[in-house]
Structure 1
């Protein structure tokens, strides 16, 4: 069964009278919602109402139900004194159109926009009468269609607009020497090149060659250079999946976090589209197999270098086999490291003992210093002993060089070095290393045993990582290794707990931790450590996995780090399911739902949360209800969102979680504001302010007071609103809370606009816009531009107003932010725009915006009296 609204109204296999068609259309515009009785009466009879309109409406509903008796997919239900219709939105072409458009804006994918437009058979509801109501609906839907057509026409040009060209290559190996033939061969190649070693020898310098080429040929790649260590041969971590890498690459190419698809196929498709017209270098380091890299091949005019110990014979790539160095190259390398005046005979001997492998040569040279002859003698003995253990081992030279450097360390630094082999993640810091063992990373760095790609962050070469891991297995007991990892996990738990308290002190956490000093701000620390936390969680015991996810939840959600959130949630669910751990299951499902919500899959998120509520204990129920409210509100189901917040706050009070009530009242207050219940909104927000103050949370008490400013403004209490906002702005500046500051400045601009203080409004609005653009968040930018657009309208500046409001609509659509989109459309003050804004407001439950739209239509629409009556009914 299919229902068509985008053309003649038709229900497959059903014959309807004219009045039944009008009633059905009015219900289908808002499926699942109770449509106000006044709107249903206007839809059927316009102003020519019958005697006893309520009885007449019941009669029409009875007849419609009878006509639909053989269509179980369409069920008209009674809700109080009015009605709604239950139907799968996928069966109605209008709602399929809107869902495809929403998905297209999330991915983004022009093909979905094209599919959405193909659903239109003609002008929407063209066979319904030419009454003001139906003319208005048709105009709004027609504008919606034209807006999507404009997006489709412009698609592909604005998917990604990176602020800067990505330069992700790690630092080149200092003192790179030789390989002239291979460098010339790389310069002559384009497309995909596989750099591998003859006979699979490790330590031959594959990565060093690729990095040197990438750094020395910058002009060949004007659009940037992408890099990833695929960890194909890591003893601790799983090799990176293509989806992990594509998420990173898409973000580097300028795709907003909320637009990164979840599925690997969609990610790869978008990646290839973005790379099609770019000239870039993509370096895929340490690949394990062809399937790991195939989705990452850029195509187009870009060059892709792959390094691997394996030959990847089923990959369509030009092979470049790398052998050990020649004696001349090896000696030249030693002279670069140790100086030109070294003993050449000893240098040649050292080169031979190191198997002419660059990595072994660098390690041995770092250990030798001015005692070259002694190092040669020691290494000769190490090689002899290694040869007694394993005959024909091509890695004996590498291991002998490692052994020599390792044994030269004191006990403390040997312990530190081998424990670093236990670390999951791409890199580490002094703080995370200290959790494993005492010692100085600077000592290991001086011995060439760790690299320092940037200040404060360290890493191990993959062979050294393997060597350190092996040493930990042989030199440490299982208990010592377990204790070291326990300390590492505890440190990450405490660090993420500290960061979570800084970012969202009123969010409920499963378990309290210990606050520890962080080397930078909480936000910066989380940005730098995000990948490591994900890797640690994947390695850790089950309880540690879900506690880390619990503490990272708000950060990952706010930053829309969807791939990482889903990866951590899936990992937590894996162990929680095996152990039947209810806490782990709840946190894992919450993470999966947040991932769906961040990607615009709000219905899937709501379904997961609703299912989780069935088995939730009270504290978990509080949190799930609150998050479900957030999802429903974003989806546009404000009434159900309010019900979730209400139940969550009542349960919070009942179980004595008083310190969490302020955030509950905040959500209730902002939702009541959306519904035009302004006095209730003010009461809830003031409760939030008072509770936060009572619990010593001064900043958040001021924040909630500032949010009251928006409600006070709409109540006409401008002086109070301006005072609240101005006081909070001082706090936000001191705390460097950019997002809150931008929002408060934007609200203050609207207050000054309403007071006629246009210069002050412009000053605050422009500062808010600068902050929003610096954050790169389209939702914040949309809100600010709505405020600036409304100000320009008041000042009689139509061109400035049009520019701000056009950009507000574009930014809101980019973010999937329906509230700002509706507000911007209404602020445009043209009949088609306001009608479209009215449609969004009505279908989303934004009654405050619905009232504003009706008031504007009462001023500018030819049938102004009709809209004035409607505005009066809900005012």
Structure 2
């Protein structure tokens, strides 16, 4: 049987029994292609002339056509037949790739259909009819592609589709189907916030360019994503939870506003708040926020209102770039962020009214539940005192932990345990865990053991009763687990990682992991997130009391060694261009974690950020300064400016006790940066000037200080900034520091561009570009292209400026700096506008607008530039 296949995609060809005839850009190929597109249909001679030769054919067009038809019949016998006034190819349409494509699309086999498309149909034929046909097929092809995307989304290929759909969305920025698919792909790959931001970008484009609102399907998708992207920060609900029916009813009835649950430690305030919050979550579709304020932790390191606000704003996806430095501004921003949202906020373990007042949104639909051991009284708050569990509820709580059959078998023992646990949920949980781990152990024996501890109890001191229960549970631990429990009471922060716990104990990680699991089974430890461990602050207090003097100092030193040395590893990977500080050998038993990627380092530094800050006052001078060095860059880039300043002040105090000139100089530079971030410019300048003196005899150190001083100069003092930078360059050249020279030259190119000396800006930019390329420094090249673009734009050389800003944007994208990529596209748009090309300007600004939205940056200036286009 003869097999025949024809192609019109990417050029016309025929395959007959494996023999291929390529027609190329010939009239014969054009003629065959026209007939194959209409396979099975009669095409008149006049139609053939128009489709093959165009609207203005030569005088002998019909004679030429007859000649070509004769040659085609000779080449492919039996293919073309005369039919009345026209011609037809006698083939099965499914033997032609174009018709097979359409058949497969109709059958829902889009992957097979798309695999056939190797180019445009009739790509070698340049006539109006062919162009029109290609345009029509482009719409068919797009529809098939989007159908195939729908199929892949249904197969959960979300992450793989994101790059493809991003590119398609850039090509078709107003196509709502493409927008919806990209939004679905982002959401399905766990990037819901990006999905919501892309919707906002599309909504703005539709309004700016068409004066239209998003379609109903796209708007419905946005509503669904908004719900999916709402913060869900509540801890897991307590299990089991027993009783508290009156208090739950009061929480249900409380009007939207502020409720304060007060009571003694261990009485179950947090359990009540979290249990009710989960039960009421549906009332707050815009999210549930949770912050542990650590008001009564053993370290005394309560969370400051500023830090709590940063956590809340971050959970609400408020960009750090928009967060003010002052507490009042942050409080106002939180109110703005919650203005139209139905949100529940749980503020756990508060110290006093001053700690919580700045966190209260006071918006109509936001509801706040606060827990505290003290009777704090924010304005217009509803108070809910929490007493001991009623006896029946206390018995039920214990029974739910040890098993109801066992409880019914020994009712008197249950009553005794409940009484000696003072009806406190925390004590009952610990005692119940002890009994549950030994089901063969008579409950009466447990009650008798608690009785032996009555000497520790005090009717007026609930904590004393808890201490008795804790003591009994600790007796059931293995010696190694008990030792680890004691040591955990020394931890400066509120939680600890597995590697940190191993270092604290001086044990191998697997052994430590097994001991932590034993403590968790005894209800003496929680693992709120994988790999991080914490416990109730009363348990931590008790553990600290048990710690032996002989083990305290060495254990704490090992933990601080782990934090300091691991933070250096993370800091070096986070900012590879920084020179690694000298580090001591770790103490025996210390685990030092290594990192391979920037993302790994960032994740660790931010996870350990609270622990590192809490550890700094307890470290040796060397440990404290190393932690401060490691935190400087990440706290600056993540906009934790108060912690940046505090960490560098602590590091500086530590270095005053060390003979480390380089470390002192570096810390003074970081301190100057922190002071500048909070607006204390005079103090920042003084710190940098001191750093300059410290680096006397070290030209590279002094040069680095000069560049940092230059960065403090406002726009009206750019000539002074240039002078500092020139001095820094001279010093870097003196000591042969190539990286420093490149930084200085980049600063000079920027400064000359700012003051309009464009020739000098270009001279320095071209000189430094050679250095950045030799070092393979992508961001340095990006900044240099940007400086060249500024200079060329100032000189009116618009084509060169556009090229430079385009290259700058490309390099910033490669370097992963989306805000600066967005800025480069905005400058590219400004360049096109200056050149009088409104369409290209608009295109670049729209790209910049999208990048601003994806990075969560304000874009009012860009919107203003696009506004006139709607007139």
Q: Do they superpose with TM above 0.5?
A: yes
CA distance in 2 between counterparts of 1:367 and 1:764 reads 67
CA shift for structure 1 position 550? 2.9
State whether residues 419 and 469 of structure 1, in contact with CA within 8 Å, keep that contact through their aligned partners in structure 2: yes
Alignment of 1:493-504 (within 5 A): 493-501=568-576
Pick from 699, 712, 725: which aligns with 1:631?
Answer: 712
State whether residues 576 and 585 of structure 1, in contact with CA within 8 Å, keep that contact through their aligned partners in structure 2: yes
- Alignment partner of 1:185 is 2:250: yes
- Alignment partner of 1:653 is 2:724: no
Judged with a 3 Å threshold, the aligned counterparts in structure 2 of structure 1 residues 405 and 672 are, in CA distance, closer, same or farther, namely farther
- Alignment partner of 1:288 is 2:351: yes
CA distance in 2 between counterparts of 1:710 and 1:365 reads 71
> C-alpha root-mean-square deviation of aligned residues, in Å?
4.4
Question: When the two structures are superposed, what TM-score results if normalisation uses the length of structure 1?
Answer: 0.61
Task: Tell me whether 204-213 or 728-737 shows the greater mean CA deviation.
Answer: 728-737
CA distance in 2 between counterparts of 1:449 and 1:247 reads 30
CA shift for structure 1 position 322? 2.0
Counterpart for residue 380 of structure 1: 447
CA distance in 2 between counterparts of 1:552 and 1:674 reads 32
Counterpart for residue 554 of structure 1: 633
Alignment of 1:185-334 (within 5 A): 185-190=250-255, 191-197=257-263, 200=264, 202-218=265-281, 220-221=283-284, 224-249=287-312, 257=320, 260-264=323-327, 281-299=344-362, 301=364, 303-312=367-376, 318-334=382-398
Counterpart for residue 553 of structure 2: 478
Q: What SS does structure 2 have at the residue aligned with 1:239?
A: coil
CA distance in 1 between counterparts of 2:339 and 2:784 reads 50
CA distance in 1 between counterparts of 2:783 and 2:814 reads 17
- Alignment partner of 1:492 is 2:559: no
Spell out, residue by residue over 1:207-266, the C-alpha distance to the aligned partner (whole angstroms, 9 max, x if none). Answer: 111222223223555665443322222222422333443444455567654555545566
CA distance in 2 between counterparts of 1:297 and 1:246 reads 10
CA distance in 2 between counterparts of 1:652 and 1:755 reads 39
Judged with a 3 Å threshold, the aligned counterparts in structure 2 of structure 1 residues 599 and 175 are, in CA distance, closer, same or farther, namely same
Counterpart for residue 69 of structure 1: none
Judged with a 3 Å threshold, the aligned counterparts in structure 2 of structure 1 residues 699 and 266 are, in CA distance, closer, same or farther, namely closer
Q: Which has the larger radius of gyration?
A: 2
Judged with a 3 Å threshold, the aligned counterparts in structure 2 of structure 1 residues 685 and 508 are, in CA distance, closer, same or farther, namely farther
Counterpart for residue 170 of structure 1: 235
Q: What SS does structure 2 have at the residue aligned with 1:476?
A: helix
Spell out, residue by residue over 1:101-144, the C-alpha distance to the aligned partner (whole angstroms, 9 max, x if none). Answer: xxxxxxxxxxxxxxxxxxxxxxxxxxxxxxxxxxxxxxxxxxxx
- Larger RCO (alpha carbons 8 Å, 6+ apart): 1
CA shift for structure 1 position 184? 1.4
CA shift for structure 1 position 596? 4.8
CA distance in 2 between counterparts of 1:455 and 1:759 reads 52
CA distance in 1 between counterparts of 2:410 and 2:766 reads 80
Judged with a 3 Å threshold, the aligned counterparts in structure 2 of structure 1 residues 698 and 319 are, in CA distance, closer, same or farther, namely closer
CA shift for structure 1 position 179? 0.6
Counterpart for residue 862 of structure 1: none
Question: When the two structures are superposed, what TM-score results if normalisation uses the length of structure 2?
Answer: 0.61
CA distance in 2 between counterparts of 1:334 and 1:284 reads 28
Pick from 496, 507, 510: which aligns with 1:428?
Answer: 496
May I ask how many residue pairs the two structures share in their alignment?
Answer: 622
Pick from 424, 429, 436: which aligns with 1:362?
Answer: 429
Q: Gaps spanning 5+ residues in structure 1: where?
A: 1-160, 803-875
Counterpart for residue 782 of structure 2: 703
Q: What SS does structure 1 have at the residue aligned with 2:370?
A: strand
Counterpart for residue 111 of structure 1: none
Spell out, residue by residue over 1:715-763, the C-alpha distance to the aligned partner (whole angstroms, 9 max, x if none). Answer: 6777777777777766665664434544555556667778898877766
State whether residues 495 and 518 of structure 1, in contact with CA within 8 Å, keep that contact through their aligned partners in structure 2: no
Judged with a 3 Å threshold, the aligned counterparts in structure 2 of structure 1 residues 755 and 442 are, in CA distance, closer, same or farther, namely farther
Q: What SS does structure 1 have at the residue aligned with 2:296?
A: coil
Q: What SS does structure 2 have at the residue aligned with 1:374?
A: coil
Judged with a 3 Å threshold, the aligned counterparts in structure 2 of structure 1 residues 261 and 743 are, in CA distance, closer, same or farther, namely closer
Judged with a 3 Å threshold, the aligned counterparts in structure 2 of structure 1 residues 298 and 500 are, in CA distance, closer, same or farther, namely same
Counterpart for residue 528 of structure 1: 607
Q: What SS does structure 1 have at the residue aligned with 2:371?
A: strand
Q: What SS does structure 2 have at the residue aligned with 1:774?
A: helix
Q: What SS does structure 2 have at the residue aligned with 1:553?
A: helix
State whether residues 782 and 807 of structure 2, in contact with CA within 8 Å, keep that contact through their aligned partners in structure 1: no
Alignment of 1:396-415 (within 5 A): 398-403=466-471, 405-415=473-483
Judged with a 3 Å threshold, the aligned counterparts in structure 2 of structure 1 residues 395 and 196 are, in CA distance, closer, same or farther, namely same
Judged with a 3 Å threshold, the aligned counterparts in structure 2 of structure 1 residues 313 and 771 are, in CA distance, closer, same or farther, namely closer
CA distance in 2 between counterparts of 1:165 and 1:636 reads 44
CA distance in 2 between counterparts of 1:372 and 1:398 reads 23
Spell out, residue by residue over 1:299-349, the C-alpha distance to the aligned partner (whole angstroms, 9 max, x if none). Answer: 565544332233458998554332222343234334544555544244725
CA shift for structure 1 position 533? 2.9
Spell out, residue by residue over 1:808-858, the C-alpha distance to the aligned partner (whole angstroms, 9 max, x if none). Answer: xxxxxxxxxxxxxxxxxxxxxxxxxxxxxxxxxxxxxxxxxxxxxxxxxxx
CA distance in 1 between counterparts of 2:338 and 2:565 reads 41
Alignment of 1:504-519 (within 5 A): 505=577, 507=578, 516-517=594-595
State whether residues 247 and 563 of structure 1, in contact with CA within 8 Å, keep that contact through their aligned partners in structure 2: no
State whether residues 825 and 848 of structure 2, in contact with CA within 8 Å, keep that contact through their aligned partners in structure 1: yes
Spell out, residue by residue over 1:773-821, the C-alpha distance to the aligned partner (whole angstroms, 9 max, x if none). Answer: 221133xx578769xx4xx7xxxx9425x8xxxxxxxxxxxxxxxxxxx
Q: What SS does structure 2 have at the residue aligned with 1:238?
A: coil
Spell out, residue by residue over 1:597-656, the C-alpha distance to the aligned partner (whole angstroms, 9 max, x if none). Answer: 4355656645654566565544553333222222214x5422122122222222233344
Counterpart for residue 869 of structure 2: 799
Pick from 518, 527, 531: which aligns with 1:452?
Answer: 527
Q: What SS does structure 2 have at the residue aligned with 1:286?
A: strand
Alignment of 1:97-108 (within 5 A): none
Q: What SS does structure 2 have at the residue aligned with 1:284?
A: strand
State whether residues 762 and 791 of structure 2, in contact with CA within 8 Å, keep that contact through their aligned partners in structure 1: yes
Q: Gaps spanning 5+ residues in structure 2: where?
A: 1-225, 585-591
CA distance in 1 between counterparts of 2:376 and 2:285 reads 29
Judged with a 3 Å threshold, the aligned counterparts in structure 2 of structure 1 residues 233 and 764 are, in CA distance, closer, same or farther, namely same
CA distance in 1 between counterparts of 2:319 and 2:799 reads 38
Task: Tell me whether 511-520 or 440-449 shows the greater mean CA deviation.
Answer: 511-520
CA shift for structure 1 position 181? 0.7
Q: What SS does structure 1 have at the residue aligned with 2:308?
A: helix
CA distance in 2 between counterparts of 1:518 and 1:346 reads 57
State whether residues 509 and 551 of structure 1, in contact with CA within 8 Å, keep that contact through their aligned partners in structure 2: no
Spell out, residue by residue over 1:258-301, the C-alpha distance to the aligned partner (whole angstroms, 9 max, x if none). Answer: 55554556656776787788765443322334444455455565
Task: Tell me whether 513-522 or 648-657 shows the greater mean CA deviation.
Answer: 513-522
Judged with a 3 Å threshold, the aligned counterparts in structure 2 of structure 1 residues 711 and 304 are, in CA distance, closer, same or farther, namely closer
Pick from 419, 427, 450: which aligns with 2:487?
Answer: 419
Alignment of 1:435-446 (within 5 A): 435-437=503-505, 438=509, 439-440=512-513, 441-442=516-517, 444-446=519-521
Pick from 525, 528, 544: which aligns with 1:469?
Answer: 544
CA shift for structure 1 position 698? 4.6
